[in-house]
Chains A and B, each alone.
Chain A
Amino acid sequence: MAIIANRKRRIGRWVLIIVLIVITFIYLIPFMYIINTAFKPWTGIKVYPPTVIFKPSIGSFIRIFTSRTVYPPGEVPTEEEISGMKWYERIVYKETNEEVVRLGDFPRRYLNSIIICSISTLITVILGTIAAYGFSRFNVRGKDDLLFFILSTRMLPPVVVVIPVFLMFRFLGLTDTHIGLILLYIAFNVSFAVWVLKGFIDEIPTEYEEAAMVDGYTRFQVFRKIVVPQATTGIAATAVFCFIFSWNEYAFAFLLSRKIAQTVPAWLPYQMGVLGYDWGAAAAGTFIFLLPAMVFTIILRKHLVRGITFGAIRK
């Protein structure tokens, strides 16, 4: 009997592993497709059906980072000129017959994304933790109404409020500024942060704080030394979600920024060149764009996993 049960369990485990591999594969298909396209040489990008095996090229990455112009007919560079080219200029010339003019807009946009998203995430998490603590621990007058009000800001799709926000931004001179988008993302994320963090802080027994207060600490010291360390899991999870939301946000970034504060999602679709839409460059840009969110999630994954199992607190 034991042997059969054992065998059943072993088979069960194998089935589970196979199912997980399949699911992971399905989830990764879009991502793999992007990587695949990003590394294709210019001639291979639009081949149908798409190829999986090809000689990889970093041409697309060079194109997303540069501004280029096509050599006019008759002005083809000589052999000597070609040999004098820098390595990336040569790749571009060989693939698309273009000349690199200058560094493109991508690094600038990328920096915008990083500045706007990290600052807004940081402020959101700080505000969210303090507000959630207040709602969790004190009898705030009209607490339920306030919490509902906070939640209600997320009840409509953001696009609905685009016009009033646009008018407000124009009036205040916030259009196409970093601070404008930072404020906007904070406004959208704070409600989410307050609700998620309130759940986490509710789970921390108040006795810890009371013990610390009796031990000689003020309410704020207790918050910093006892509550925040115990809520790290929740704070990390919230930070990841807020960061990903603002990192991926398109509609507002598209409407409220043109140049100075434009983020990657708003800029990335404009990869139209003389040679048509450059899918390779778009894929390369997307791939680089995805990296920080991935890294951020991987760094905090320990906390994310613990965040899911939270509630199993030992009393």
Chain B
Amino acid sequence: MASVRLASLTKIFGQVTAIDNIDLEIDDREFFVLLGPTGAGKTTTLRLVAGLEKPDQGEVYLDNVSVNDVSPALRDVAFVFQYYTLYPHYTVRQNLEFPLKPKFRRLSKSEIDAKVSEVAKILHIESLLERETVNLSGGEMQRVAIGRAIVRTPKVFLMDEPLSNLDAKLREEMRRELTRLHLDLGFTFFYVTHDQIEAMTMGDRIAVLNQGKILQIGTPDKIYNSPENVFVAKFVGSPTINLLEASIETNTLVVGKKTLVCTISETQRNSLKKYSKRELILGIRPEDIEVSREKKKADSFKCTVYFTQSMGVEDILNLRIDDIVLRAVVPPKLLTGIGDTVYASINMKRSHLFDPKTNKRL
């Protein structure tokens, strides 16, 4: 097992800077998730670690040894691709044996057999060993692909959106499976995904990447509850955070033409002194809006239900106040219908404020 360190890593493709001066440290045995939208440079980062791309600048360290000039074959990392890339002309067993067969590994036939059966047992694919890979289902292919990666106990386990081709049900199952594998095997996982649920549920730490830059690194809790900037706030969390243009007037935060007026606490007031009279971005997670049928609090405001989405455990309400639309998550027992009038109040303790110029958290 090993730690991974990326130091001022840059990769340029023609005119496009795919990776822009990234610094990143992954601890030994950590489950590290790189989260970002399509085209953020996640896969490129992973390929740089694997040695499939050469960086234009910066270094990749595995266990504090620079591997910039080491070929992919000798880096001793394993890569699970988005499309499982099981060798189609081999059976499952041959696929699993393949990484063990290079001569420099010096493994005997019986050692190889033992390792293959061990991995097959871990992943519950013993019955598939003699099958052709083209006849496997998506989930089975996924297991074999993971098996091929873990069979030789690599230093780091690189995974490029391995679950994106599976259906929702299977994805959930594989999420659990991967977490279990990580706990059991204790490998260093470097996992790339665009799916924030995967990142939140599996990662020990998450790095949010956009346009080649790392915007925030932290535990899932940190990323969710104190996003460093507007992008992170918007990208993580479903339903998406409400972002409203607001300004500070004396002791209140005013949204629009006094559409919403929220009282801010003393501590918040002090830290926001220099921003008074200036435009701000107010972020509120949908679950931090409390909705009731009667006006319960003084600062509740009246709004109409614009439309609703029922999720079973909870309902997502789109509320309208003048020209502002707010998303709120409420328990289904509220039983609201479209057009109903309800009262909403914002939990200002859990609000997030951002500077509209820098998009950074205040």
Given the interface pairs A216-B104, A217-B102, the reply to whether A210 lies near B83 with Cβ below 8 Å is no
Total of A-B residue pairs, C-beta within 8 Å:
59
Distance in angstroms from B51 CB to nearest chain A CB is 8
Cβ–Cβ contact B81 & A216, under 8 A: no
Which residues 239-290 in B have Cβ within 8 Å of A in the complex?
none
**A226 and B87 alpha carbons, distance in the complex (Å):** 7
The interface size bin for chain A is 10 to 19
Cβ–Cβ contact A215 & B98, under 8 A: yes
Interface string of A202-235 (1 = CB under 8 A from B): 0001011011111111100100001001100000
Distance in angstroms from B112 CB to nearest chain A CB is 13
Choose among B83, B88, B89, B99 the residue that contacts A215 (Cβ–Cβ < 8 A): B99
Cβ–Cβ contact A205 & B83, under 8 A: yes
Choose among A205, A214, A217, A314 the residue that contacts B77 (Cβ–Cβ < 8 A): A214
Interface string of A39-70 (1 = CB under 8 A from B): 00000000000000000000000000000000
- Find chain A residues with CB under 8 A from B83 CB: 205, 207, 315
**A314 and B81 alpha carbons, distance in the complex (Å):** 15
Cβ–Cβ contact A205 & B85, under 8 A: yes
Cβ–Cβ contact A218 & B79, under 8 A: no
Distance in angstroms from A144 CB to nearest chain B CB is 17
- Find chain B residues with CB under 8 A from A210 CB: 47, 50, 52, 72, 79, 81, 85
**A207 and B78 alpha carbons, distance in the complex (Å):** 13
**A290 and B98 alpha carbons, distance in the complex (Å):** 43
- Find chain A residues with CB under 8 A from B85 CB: 205, 207-208, 210-211
Which residues 59-98 in B have Cβ within 8 Å of A in the complex?
71-75, 77-79, 81, 83, 85, 87-89, 98
Given the interface pairs A207-B85, A210-B72, the reply to whether A215 lies near B102 with Cβ below 8 Å is yes
**A214 and B98 alpha carbons, distance in the complex (Å):** 11
B324 close to A (CB within 8 Å) = no
Residues in chain A within 8 A of chain B (CB atoms): 205, 207-208, 210-218, 221, 226, 229-230, 314-315
Residues in chain B within 8 A of chain A (CB atoms): 47, 50-52, 71-75, 77-79, 81, 83, 85, 87-89, 98-99, 102, 104-105, 134, 148, 152
